[in-house]
Structure 1
Amino acid sequence: MSNLSGFKMRARIRTKIMAVCALILSSSLLISSWVTYSYVKDIMREQAVRDNTTKLEQTSSFINRMQEQLRETAEYIISDSEMNALMVKDPYDTYEQSYFKKNKVREKLKLFPVMNSSLLNVMIIRPDGEVFSNYQGYDSYYKEYLNQAWFAAYRMGRSESRFSDPHDFIFLNRRQQVISYVVDYRNFKDDGDERYYLVLDFNQKDLASLFEQSNKDFERLLLLNQNGVPLFDSNPEVTPWTDSDSQGGKYIEIVDDTVGERWQQVAVISKSRLYERINKLLLFYTLIVAVSLIVVMMILLPLLVQLTRPISKLVRAMKRVSAGDLNTELQIRSGDEMELLGLGFNRMMKDLKSLIESHVQEQKEKRNMQIQLLLSQMNPHFIYNTLNTVIYLAHAGRTKEVADMTASLIYLLQNTIKIGDDAWFTTLEDEIELVNKYAAIQDCRYPGRFRIEWDIQEELLPCMVLRMMLQPLIENALYHGIFPSERQGWIGISARRSDRFIEVSVLDNGIGISTSQTVLPIQNASTGIGLTNIRERLNFHYGVQAGLEIKSFPGEGTEVRIRLPFTIEDGDSTAEDSRFMRKITGL
């Protein structure tokens, strides 16, 4: 607190704001004017693009409606039962009967151009080449007409769209540009499998009339079909339009893909023409914004810059603290109240760090006592059973077995009473030795009832594992699997390394356990430290990196697998400190 009380401010925030205003005034006008002009210019450009896009979408809806009308007309003709029956070729019809049938089809086809003024010609081509049309006397022309390249693509199946490219059609002795809508179909009244063709020719001028209203708003307006062929071009005399024309920076290209049949509308806007209309408005607007911005910046900018800079530092420091960095120190040299606040923050962080470290140490000591308590659970029960066996062997005069069993018990007790880090971890080699001593004791008590087989590579022996990790598993296998069974007992212990982990497996041929016991690990008076204890210690030391899995088949045996990180060094106390820190602080 002496540092805080002895702090003397050199200048107040109010004084600094007034001093900075004079410096900002000269530069803010130029910057604000340029920024405002650029911003408004982009807005006007985007607005022009949006307005023109809306116009294209409106035109697109009309084109889609025209396409839909053609599809509906084609569907109506194809589904007309009477017309389909009249077009079927009958080898027994006389010339007069064929003529009257064709004339009747012609009368029905005449109705469709009346209902849709865009249609110039409607014709159906029978598989034998006979043409049914709404016009009479065009038979010779139709033969030439249907031999043109646009229809040949449909006969050979090379066209991917039902709409053809624009082509010539002689109507009332005048050559006109038309677009054909072609549908090949099977006449359901004809027993043959040959395909009929329905051709609807509509006037390209009617399509161009849809663009009359919006054409004047663009430098150039095009409608392209699926092959990129222009169906409409507002300036056909100019060279064909390409994407490279818009990349020179002189034009803005708007592409509308909402038209059906993969048609595209391409609208070209001249930038010079667009900016010519908005430059005066932008200039006036820029002047207004510049004046307003100068006033606002003179009042607010100095205050915001000076106030938010230290506050931003404080916010960043708080974010580092929330991420767990308690070594954060705030450096503010403003000579005002903000520097005083920074000094207070640093002092608060030192006190907080000291308090948390003290709390962490208390929790570690508490947890150590809990671990020691868990480890000590196996001692009374195991010693009691072993000493009973020693007494029995002593009465029987089996002194060598008494010596061996006593030596094994002493080895187990030496491992049990270890303290500190040695009480938590041991090497896999020492754990194997511990199991062998335990197995020797049990073999004295139950001679010939079981055997143990090891399958562990030598390179895994220095690996660090939990102390007393395997012994409880062997005890469970004996008391809950092998001893209740009448057959010869067998326990297989193996270890395998997988990348950064080691997996230890204990498999027995006992009676197995129920499904509910594989979900809730066994722990009772006869299992000693128990599977629950092992699972808790794995979780405490390794977290989610370790796990214990139980597989059992009733009447066949049980397998317990333990997975933990592979390491040949002692546990990293720094890592544990960090884990305790996170648990306590919640950061």
Structure 2
Amino acid sequence: MKMTIRTKILGSTVLVVSLSLILSSYIVFTNMARIVREQAVKDNMTKLAQTSSSLTRMQDRLFKTAETIIADDEINTQLIRKPEASMAEAYFDQVAVMKQLKRFVALDASLLNIMIIRYDGKVFSNYSGYDSYYEAYLQEAWFAPFKSGSGGTRFSEVHEFSYINGEQDVISYVIPYRNWEDKTQDEPYYLVMDMKQNEIAKVFKESREDFERIVLRSGDGRIIYDTEAASPGQGLQPSGDFLALRYDAMSEGWSQEAFISKRKLYESIRPLLLFHLAIAAAGLLFILLLVLPLILNFTRPITVLARAMRRVSAGELRTSVNIRSGDEMQVLGEGFNQMVHELDTWMKSAMREEEMKRNMQINLLLSEINPHFIYNTLNTVIYLSHAERSKDTITITKALIDILQDTIKTGEQAFFSTLAQERQLVEKYVSIQQYRYPGRFRLEWEIPEQLGSCAVLRLMIQPLVENALFHGIFDLEEEGVITVTARADDSDLFVTVADNGIGIDDRPSALDWKRSPVHSGQTKGIGLANIQERILFHYGEPYGIAFESISGEGTSVTIRLPYIAEAERTA
């Protein structure tokens, strides 16, 4: 009795039961890691909470200072603009405000500068002689959201403040308020308190040793402080080496983001991990020594088959395998040989079809507008220009441009079009010929509107109209008529090009003519045989061309195609 490959695999798995050791070790380690991680998260969240408490106290001092300044009647009175006051009185008011603001700055080590901006732009500060600097300072980008009222928070982005002792990064706390002592104005005053960023850094000094990185963000997401000064602004994303924490319980929407190194978290259980890894490695080695010969025996046919597949992928389609394992692998080998044989047959057939398609493309290119047609058309344009027929010149030039644009289509558009698009191309071509041969012929259309979206072969109608014109109509003394009609039944589309020209005497010579190009002054024609070949290539039997001609009465050519709407072809 032949053993199936499934039976062989099931039998070999009995020998590798010891792999459960790896699973059990993994489960133990995972649980221990989870416990350590949860405890570490709790401990570090406590540290973040302590840091948040310090930051909140700093914020509260700032808020209380702001409330005190805004509610100070003496300061608000001295801020009021007094038109009747002398320059000395205005100066003394400014000095008085400066002294009081200095007192507030001295009471809070986190404050560097306090400004009150009056409605008319006058700035009162704890620094004197900074009027020109403040004028430029308040034009910087950090103050624009507060001035326009579009700021989502009372804290600004980190920016630079220059003073007598140098430059320092600050975060501004901005409050617009109403000065109730100023009864004459409804315009807001602005209180701006610049807080030192390095004071915030001091809060993080102790806790930063426990984290790889800490970022303090404002309520609108801007970074206030980042322990990684070399790469500020980068978002914190959890990864395989780090664990991300977030603490939001602070005023004004401030939040902390921190990274914990998993390496530090797992240092306490590393010896246990190494012990479990050693046990698992020893067990795995023992199992491999037992199972490896079996695996080699079982997988040898697979290896042979894989090598054969690589040779086939490299183009060696005469490759075959000889597998005599007596199981499913033998069936796969036989199927592989059959598949390669069929693939070789299909490739040869595909190459023949591709050659046919390439020949058809070449024949299709023969129908494109040649230099003689362009030359004759441009001569007509020159003639019309000399005759000062500018509108006619524009019409014939635009028609020529549209025809030339149609000749450069590629891909799927190089083979297929819609009946409406074919009609447009023919009308452009005929409009040019009517300027060259006025009064010699007219073109009539009998195509229902609903058939305009039907899919047809590209350059299918124009060659027939051209043949009718030059081989049927121009030999008449009276005006010729070319009629293009279309009709459809449930499954087929019929397009007919008929003329009242001289007709053709006998069918064999007609077919020879249809295979020959039109005279050199026009486009290089596609004969009926070429159109027939393209129809058979794309649609097969029973589609094609029906040809009727009566000498002295005219010629009729009917094309039969499958009825396909454009939406169905492109779906």
- Asked if Structure 1 and Structure 2 have the same fold, meaning a TM-score greater than 0.5 normalized by the shorter chain, the answer is no
Normalising to structure 1: TM-score of the pair?
0.42
